[in-house]
Amino acid sequence: MLAPAFNDPALASQAVFRTVMEAMARPGLPRPLTARLTPPAPLSVTAAAVALTLLDYETPFWLDQGLAGGEVAAWLKFHTGAPLTENPAQAAFAIISDPAAMPDFETFAQGSNEYPDRSSTLVVQVARLDQGERLALSGPGIAGRRSFAAAPLPQDFRARLAANRELFPRGVDLILVSADAVAALPRSLRVAA
Amino acid sequence: MSQSQPCSPPPAEAGSRRAAMALLAQARTSEIAQGLKALAQSLRYVELRPAATGLVMVRGRIGGDGAPFNLGEATVTRAAVRLDSGEFGSSYALGRDHDKARLAAVCDALWQSETRREAVERHVLAPIRARLARECTKKREQAAATRVDFFTLVRGED
């Protein structure tokens, strides 16, 4: 059975949008994020909040294996009006519940040099935003260097981020959500080897 | 909504869900509330989509089959509810009356339950239908009373 979404859609999604925007402006810096939601499992509360805020009828979304097949698709479609797509290359947003097994970034929309905005944004549910392999980040929005870690992530995550940076201005953006925080890894990011 | 209602029957066939919603669209909030009160003492439901007001673009076609054009925007309030018994109801209503949209969605959900449809028809829809018919007759009579039959004398061709 369908569950309700935000109690106060306008104000709640504005608050989440503000948090995501600040996370995007300071790559790799987790911002606290809470929401009062009861999304269908295995979609996390914070991932649901981000999805409800960003999805609309013009943004096809893709779900990974863990999320597809359950009630998640119906819930998101009802509350956002966004269409579900089976093809990750057509997705404006991809929601990933099993980050260790996430597909290569190349399977998602990369945008074009003329329209780099036509790329996928990956919303990734991670367990923690303070543990795991340390990455030294630099680039726009970071004064000097910033240390970032999240778990779980794929073994070759560092190499994937580096390959994504090579494509600039094309490439995907990542929004990582833990149980109580959100951090962003946009395509402008540089990772020290 | 304004007090003057269009004097035409809802276009959908009688007894359909669409006809029920067309009737609710022309109802007053107080009418729906009274009908629901008569139907059940306490209705338990979850507001899946709390009533929210927005704009919809109304499109038209000249003569009904010309090229479509945007006529203008209309203020619409929508709501969606789920009864504790599982039925889902939704509604869109002109104007910004949140209660009306919510109560109409509740009626929609009740109407879909086989066991309660008859009660909705009797307690909620029938009084609205009767009131609309009364107003329609009155308007017709008022218009008929002022009717003037014009006639023109044929002018001779001389």
Chain B contact set for A2 (CB, 8 A): 48, 82, 88
**Residue at A85 is within a domain:** yes
Tell me what pLDDT residue B4 has.
44
- The ranges assigned to domains in chain B are 17-143
Number of domains in chain A: 1
* pLDDT score of B13: 67
Question: Measured between alpha carbons, how far is residue B3 from residues A40, B7, B142, B144 in Å?
Answer: 43, 12, 16, 21
Residue A64 forms part of a structural domain: yes
Does residue B40 register a pLDDT over 70? yes
pLDDT in tens, B52-83: 999 999 999 988 888 999 999 999 999 999 99
Contact A172, A108 (CB under 8 A): yes
| Residue B149: pLDDT band with limits 50, 70, 90 | confident
Q: Is residue A171 part of a domain?
A: yes
Domain at A171, CATH number: 3.40.50.11310
Across chain B, mean pLDDT equals 87
Q: Residue A94 pLDDT more than 60?
A: yes
Residue A133 belongs to some domain of the structure: yes
Q: Is residue A191 part of a domain?
A: no
- Which domain covers residue A91, as residue numbers? 9-185
Condensed to tens digits (0 to 9), the pLDDT of residues B19-31 reads: 999 999 999 999 9
User: What pLDDT does B100 receive?
Assistant: 95
CB-CB under 8 Å, A79 with B49:
yes
Q: What is the C-alpha separation between B135 and B27, in angstroms, rounded?
A: 12
Q: Is B96 on the interface with A (CB under 8 A)?
A: no
pLDDT of residue B1: 39
Q: What pLDDT sits at residue B9?
A: 55
Nearest to B120 by CA among B12, B31, B9, B28: B31
ipTM over 0.95: no
- pLDDT computed for residue A55 by the predictor: 95
The alpha carbon torsion through A12, A15, A20, A22 (nearest 10 deg) reads 180
Model pTM?
A: 0.82
pLDDT in tens, A108-161: 999 999 999 999 999 999 999 988 889 999 999 999 999 999 989 999 999 999
Comparing CB atoms, the residue among B50, B86, B88 nearest residue A7 is B50
